[in-house]
């Protein structure tokens, strides 16, 4: 729960600390660089109180980040701590703001975010022998930022599924775990605040049974004093909070065993976060997937011990060995009734002079009911934080942590690791994984704490991965946070690579990584990322994945569980509006996901006899590429063999696949079903969306033998159901002038327009009041032609015709052109004939093919 507040700044000073008198409240000092005590202090009870005033306009911090950095230093080999409070208008002490409690001899640094108004800075002599010290106050402003986040569409990210829906205020520091027996069952936890200015909160839990799409907010964990925001509104003007409000649980860590039981490890601080003693470690259990939770089982109890005033427990992690059985190994399979060794680690912080932070581990071999005494694994190091477990399939357990040799920002630290071959009974001496350039406690433009604490996971093949945020200095001198990952097959030799793939030295920060590895060995690293904001202020959540063992990671905009404030951007009238920080989940496809994103048909209005091109657009909407993809077409339930194939389709890519379908003799509506991966040979994140359907309509031909494909049996040969008249008519059966390569009717123009012959169809039955399309394909010779189509009503008694439509069009030489028009049949008309003519004076032949009268429906 406690974080080290460490920062080093060199900026112009706008305020100073006044000379001290013990427990006095001197007036504010003038603007100066340094203030030095005139009265040396000693012991472990003395304190100095300074008044600090920051005068800024009320709107100054609206679109700007910054504040006042306060520092105490130059006190030699002594230990002075620092606390900062608001100063009320009547001069009384207000709400707690921040503090710094570093090791002996180390400077104390704290930042007052968005500082405005009056403050008290308290220097407490934790362990001092007659020393003076210096105080510094630095007003600083980082780069400004836009009032609202930029809208990011590339990549667009994934839908955020809100988990927190309770009476509490903001939520933070979430953790999530997946049930190995049911991947749709997730449990998660976070801080749930009852008072924000005074940092009062308890841990609460969430559960999902549909893979994170929806969540049940279970509220705060049972077994502790209950308090709501309405109960905890005090704290101003010297008011105190009730014990129920101050009672704190924090730093939740969730996990499942291989029997389907869920666990939540929490820090238990009965005296609250401000009390620097008596912090304990507890475990809660759920046997129903996170719907309900047990009361606490103690892992380590400081509150009632003799050492509660000298040590505290902080910053914990928890793991269950789901590979081997407790206590000494052997087979451990899901649902076999066996639970592997449980491991809990945390910082054991020495609160006396000469502060130490040791990494300790306790184990349980009875499902968390009882726990061993903690053993120190870090062995002699001074400043450790952020322990993380990784358990190999062999049952070997590894423990990593961040070791910082100094609390001065900018100086290096290391990632360390130790291992146990006997289920936590003994541990190897720690070894260095990598040197770390630690993040500043607060990265530029931010108002929250940061540390380069690690994330750790072990692949099914035993490869170890450790990730952290490193404050990189590029060749151009720009500093920003990057995510690094170290990889080892033996825990001794390590290779390190960069995870985020944005431009090096772009001044955009990535921080707070976590890591998980799938059963197939895919490495997943999530982290906060500011690359999309030109001002490096607003934060997105990214997920990087690697299928090749971590040597390269590609970015994808998603993460299982995180906290943010984006709901505050909604209108206050929106049902989802929240001015507080909420917690969310997102589902990011982990495999290829193949689907049919669209079907097209060509031509758009095919006529009977035309070949229809059916095209399916196949999309990979998942993460991984897919290869050797089968695509199966079925028209009206008839599979169109053989299956088509796509050699490879990258994540996010599409490919078009087509078949040719003959429509001869098949007028009407036709249904198409396209199935991707019909043999189910490709593993996908969603196996239910592999098919697409569509339909098209083939217009039936109402005129017999419109394409002149059948010759008359009478001599001379002529098309069936058509009659020539006049001079110059011809019928070419060679296919040389046919649009479809079979046959065509021709007309040779006469000396004068209108003198050429014509072709007349047999009578065609029609329906009065119906709209029909009339069309023909015209093939011209070496000269332009002016073909003409006439549709006439036929009096079946007298044989007389009455023109209903005359379509004439000038067609260029040596062209193939479709003539198209429409006609509505008048009342009383039941029969029509079609005439083909040529109206241009030229001794050349124009050929007609594919003549038809079509009902558009």
Could you report the per-residue pLDDT of 408-443, keeping only the tens digit for each?
444 578 999 999 999 999 999 999 999 999 998 888
Report yes or no on 645 lying in a domain: yes
21 pLDDT above the threshold of 50: no
| CATH number of the domain where residue 625 is located | 2.60.40.10
758 shares its domain with 669 = no
Angstrom distances, CA of residue 92 to CA of 51, 87, 118, 121, 196: 11, 6, 11, 13, 20
683 shares its domain with 727 = no
705 pLDDT above the threshold of 70: no
pLDDT, residue 163, reads 95
765 shares its domain with 838 = yes
pLDDT, residue 31, reads 32
Please state the rounded mean pLDDT for residues 367-374. Answer: 96
DSSP assignment, residue 509? Answer: -
- Claim: this prediction has a pTM higher than 0.85: no
CA distance 711 to 730: 12
Report yes or no on 84 lying in a domain: yes
| Minimum mean pLDDT range among 153-157, 191-195, 198-202, 246-250 | 153-157
62 shares its domain with 140 = yes
CA distance 509 to 486: 19
* Torsion sign over Cα 341, 423, 308, 131: negative
770 shares its domain with 804 = yes
**DSSP characters for 325-348?**
-TTT--B--TTSS----EEEEEEE
pLDDT, residue 659, reads 97
Closest CA to 510 of 490, 533, 488, 494: 533
Closest CA to 283 of 318, 313, 315, 310: 318
CA angle (182, 328, 369) in 5-degree steps: 60
Angstrom distances, CA of residue 763 to CA of 425, 630, 801: 101, 49, 11
Banded model confidence at residue 10, pLDDT cuts 50, 70, 90: very low
Report yes or no on 641 lying in a domain: yes
How many structural domains does the chain have? 3
Burial (0-12, 13-18, 19+ Cβ within 10 Å), 238: exposed
Report yes or no on 747 lying in a domain: yes
Per-residue three-class SS string for 229-282: HHHCCCCCCCCCCCHHHHCEEEEEEEEECCCCCEEEEEEEECCCCCCCCCCEEE
Query: Which of 125, 144, 163 finishes a domain?
Result: 144
Report yes or no on 101 lying in a domain: yes
The whole-chain average pLDDT of the chain stands at 84
780 shares its domain with 676 = no
683 shares its domain with 748 = no
Report yes or no on 651 lying in a domain: yes
Rg (CA), the chain: 40
Closest CA to 772 of 839, 851, 660: 851
| Minimum mean pLDDT range among 26-40, 238-252, 309-323, 449-463 | 26-40
Q: Which helix (H) or strand (E) holds 386?
A: strand 384-391
| CB contact at 8 A, 782 and 814 | yes
100 versus 708: the higher-pLDDT residue is: 100
| CATH number of the domain where residue 729 is located | 2.60.120.260
746 shares its domain with 850 = yes
679 shares its domain with 727 = no
727 shares its domain with 836 = yes
Query: Which of 144, 177, 196 finishes a domain?
Result: 144
820 shares its domain with 735 = yes
Report yes or no on 578 lying in a domain: no
pLDDT, residue 552, reads 60
691 shares its domain with 726 = no
Report yes or no on 487 lying in a domain: no
pLDDT, residue 741, reads 58
735 versus 527: the higher-pLDDT residue is: 527
Domain of residue 814: give its range: 722-854
| CATH number of the domain where residue 39 is located | 2.60.120.380
Query: Which of 123, 144, 165 finishes a domain?
Result: 144
């Amino acid at each position: 729960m406690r974080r080290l507040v460490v920062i080093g700044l060199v900026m112009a000073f706008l305020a100073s600390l006044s000379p001290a008198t013990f427990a006095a409240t001197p007036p504010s000092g003038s603007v100066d660089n340094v203030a030095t005590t005139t009265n040396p202090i000693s012991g472990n009870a003395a304190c100095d109180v300074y008044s600090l005033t920051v005068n800024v306009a009320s709107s100054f911090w609206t679109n700007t980040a910054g504040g006042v950095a306060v520092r105490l230093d130059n006190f030699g080999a002594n230990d002075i701590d620092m606390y900062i409070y608001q100063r009320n208008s009547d001069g009384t002490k207000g709400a707690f703001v921040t503090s710094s409690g570093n090791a002996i001899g180390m400077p104390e640094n704290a930042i007052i975010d968005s500082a405005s108004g009056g403050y008290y800075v308290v220097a407490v002599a934790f362990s001092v022998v007659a020393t003076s010290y210096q105080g510094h106050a630095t007003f600083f402003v980082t780069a400004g930022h836009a009032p609202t986040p930029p809208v990011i569409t590339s990549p667009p990210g994934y839908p955020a599924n809100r988990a927190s829906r309770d009476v509490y205020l903001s939520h933070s520091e979430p953790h999530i775990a997946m049930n190995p027996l049911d991947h749709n069952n997730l449990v998660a936890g976070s801080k749930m605040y009852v008072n924000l200015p005074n940092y009062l909160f308890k841990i609460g839990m969430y559960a999902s049974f549909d893979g994170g799409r929806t969540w049940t907010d279970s509220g705060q964990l049972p077994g502790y004093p209950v308090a709501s925001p309405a109960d905890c509104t005090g704290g101003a003007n010297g008011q105190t909070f009730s014990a129920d409000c101050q009672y704190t649980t924090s730093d939740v860590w969730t996990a499942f065993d291989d029997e389907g039981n869920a666990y939540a490890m929490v820090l238990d601080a009965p005296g609250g976060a401000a009390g620097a003693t008596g912090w304990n470690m507890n475990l809660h259990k759920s046997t129903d997937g996170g719907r309900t939770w047990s009361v606490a089982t103690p892992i380590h109890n400081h509150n009632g011990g003799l050492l509660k005033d000298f040590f505290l427990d902080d910053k914990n992690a928890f793991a269950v060995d789901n590979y081997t059985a407790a206590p000494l190994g052997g087979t451990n399979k899901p649902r076999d009734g066996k639970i592997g060794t449980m491991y809990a680690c945390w910082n054991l912080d020495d609160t006396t002079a000469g502060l130490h932070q040791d990494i300790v581990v306790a184990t349980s071999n009875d499902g968390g009911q009882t726990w061993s005494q903690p053993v120190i694994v870090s062995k002699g190091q001074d400043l450790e934080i952020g322990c993380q477990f990784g358990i190999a399939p062999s049952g070997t357990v590894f423990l990593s942590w961040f070791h910082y040799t100094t609390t001065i920002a900018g100086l290096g630290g290391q990632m360390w690791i130790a291992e146990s071959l006997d289920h936590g009974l003994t541990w190897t001496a720690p070894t260095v994984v990598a040197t770390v350039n630690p993040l500043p406690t607060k990265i530029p433009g931010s108002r929250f704490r940061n540390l380069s604490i690690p994330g750790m996971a072990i692949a099914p093949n035993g490869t170890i991965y450790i990730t952290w945020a490193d404050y990189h200095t590029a060749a151009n001198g720009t500093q920003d946070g990057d995510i690094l990952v170290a990889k080892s097959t033996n825990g001794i030799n390590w290779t390190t690579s960069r995870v985020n793939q944005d431009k090096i030295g772009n001044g955009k920060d990535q921080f707070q990584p976590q890591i998980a590895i799938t059963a197939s060995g895919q490495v997943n690293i999530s982290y906060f990322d500011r690359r999309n904001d030109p001002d490096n202020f607003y934060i997105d959540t990214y997920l990087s994945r690697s299928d090749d063992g971590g040597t390269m990671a590609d970015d994808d905009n998603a993460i299982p569980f995180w906290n943010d404030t984006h709901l505050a951007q909604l209108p206050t009238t929106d049902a989802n509006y929240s001015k507080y920080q909420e917690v969310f989940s997102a589902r990011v496809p982990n495999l290829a996901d193949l689907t049919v994103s669209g079907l097209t048909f060509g031509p758009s209005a095919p006529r009977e006899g035309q070949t229809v091109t059916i095209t399916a657009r196949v999309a990979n909407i998942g993460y991984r590429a897919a290869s050797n993809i089968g695509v199966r077409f079925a028209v009206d339930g008839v599979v169109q063999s053989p299956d088509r194939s796509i050699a490879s389709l990258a994540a996010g890519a599409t490919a078009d696949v087509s078949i040719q379908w003959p429509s001869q003799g098949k007028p009407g509506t036709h249904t198409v079903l396209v199935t991707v991966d019909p043999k189910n040979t490709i593993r996908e994140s969603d196996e239910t969306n592999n098919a697409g359907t569509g339909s098209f309509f083939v217009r039936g031909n109402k005129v017999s033998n419109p394409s002149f494909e059948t010759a008359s049996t009478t001599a001379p040969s002529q098309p069936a159901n058509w009659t020539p008249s006049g001079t110059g008519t011809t019928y070419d059966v060679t296919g040389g002038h046919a649009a479809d390569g079979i046959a065509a009717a021709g007309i040779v123009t006469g000396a004068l327009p209108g003198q050429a012959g014509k072709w007349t169809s047999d009578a065609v039955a029609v329906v009065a009041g119906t709209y029909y399309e009339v069309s023909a394909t015209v093939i011209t010779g070496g000269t332009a032609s002016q073909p003409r189509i006439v549709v006439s009503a036929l009096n079946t008694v007298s044989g007389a015709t009455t023109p209903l439509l005359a379509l004439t069009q000038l067609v260029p030489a040596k062209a193939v052109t479709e003539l198209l028009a429409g006609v509505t049949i008048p009342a009383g008309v039941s029969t029509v004939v079609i005439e083909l003519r040529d109206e241009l004076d030229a001794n050349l032949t124009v050929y007609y093919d594919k003549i038809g009268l079509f009902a558009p429906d």
